[in-house]
Amino acid sequence: MSEDELSELIRDCPVLYHMAAAGSWPSIRQHGLWGTTALLDLFEVMGDARRALEARRPASVEIRHPRLGRAVIRDQKPMSDRSLAACLEDGLAPADWYAILNAHAFFSLTRARLLRMLNAGSYRAEAHDVIEVDTASLVSAHRSRITLAAINSGFAQRRAMPRGRSTFLGIDDYPYAEWKRRRARGERVVELAVEPGVPDIASHARRVVRMQGEAELETLWLRG
C-alpha cells in the first residue's frame, strides 16, 4: 500500500470500531485494549485455565484479577476445528490460527461491519461497549504493529475463504490496489489488527457508546 492509498483508506474509513462486553470500558481505558494472549498475561492467567482460553472458545468467558478487576474474552462460535482445517493454508493447523487471532486486538473499519457483529446470533440480545477510534491517530501511533486483512478472520463456516500466513499483512505490504479493483470503498480492508494490542487506546478513542443491536443506549465517554 502506498502512502496515497493509505490516505485514501483513512478518508474512506476515518473511524475504527471495537466491540467489547458491556462494562468493559473503564478497565480498557485504564489498562489498554489487548488481544487474548496479552490480556491473559496481564491478568496472570496460567495453566489449564489459560490453555482452555487460548483454544477455541465456544462461549465468552469472564476472567478476574484481584487488582485489575474483570474482563471478558469473546467466544469464537463462528469457527470450528473442522471448518478451519478445510480452509487453512501454509501448513497451518486450527490451533495455529487460534494463536494468531489471540495475538491481536481487532477493529472493524465500517459501521456496517460493526452492526453485523452487534446483530449476530446471541450478541443481538446483549449490550456492548463500542469504542470508536480515530483511524489516523491509531495508524500514526502504532503503524509498525498494525496488520490488515481482506477477510473476517474470525469467521470460518461452510465454504470459508482460504486463509494462512499472508492473511494479515503490514500496511506497506497490503495489496490495496488489487482490492480497490474488486471492492467498493469501505470493503477494501475488512479488519485492522494491532499486535499485541493498544495500551493507549484512550488517546485514540473518539467516543464510547453502549449499544444493543443498532440502538445506542447511552454515551459512556466522549472526547472533550
DSSP structure string for 113-179:
HHHHHHTSGGGGGS-EEEEEEEHHHHHHHHGGGEEEESS-TT---TTPPPB-TTSSEEGGG--HHHH
What is the average pLDDT across 70-90? 95
What is the average pLDDT across 179-183? 97
Answer yes or no: is 62 within a domain. Answer: no
Residue 122 pLDDT > 90, yes or no?
no
Answer yes or no: is 192 within a domain. Answer: yes
Answer yes or no: is 104 within a domain. Answer: yes
What is the average pLDDT across 153-168? 92
Amino acid letter, 46: M
Please report which confidence band the pLDDT of residue 169 belongs to, taking 50, 70 and 90 as the band edges: very high
* Average per-residue pLDDT for the chain: 96
pLDDT at 35 (0 to 100): 98
What is the average pLDDT across 1-23? 98
| The total number of structural domains that make up the chain | 1
Residue 158 pLDDT > 80, yes or no?
no
Answer yes or no: is 39 within a domain. Answer: no
Answer yes or no: is 144 within a domain. Answer: yes
d(CA 55, CA 171): 28
What is the average pLDDT across 62-91? 95
Residue recorded with cell 496488520: 147
Domain that holds residue 215: 3-23+78-222
Answer yes or no: is 58 within a domain. Answer: no
Alpha carbon distances (Å) from 198 to 8, 201, 224: 23, 5, 21
What is the average pLDDT across 51-63? 96
Residue 165 pLDDT > 80, yes or no?
yes
Answer yes or no: is 176 within a domain. Answer: yes
Residue 157 pLDDT > 90, yes or no?
no
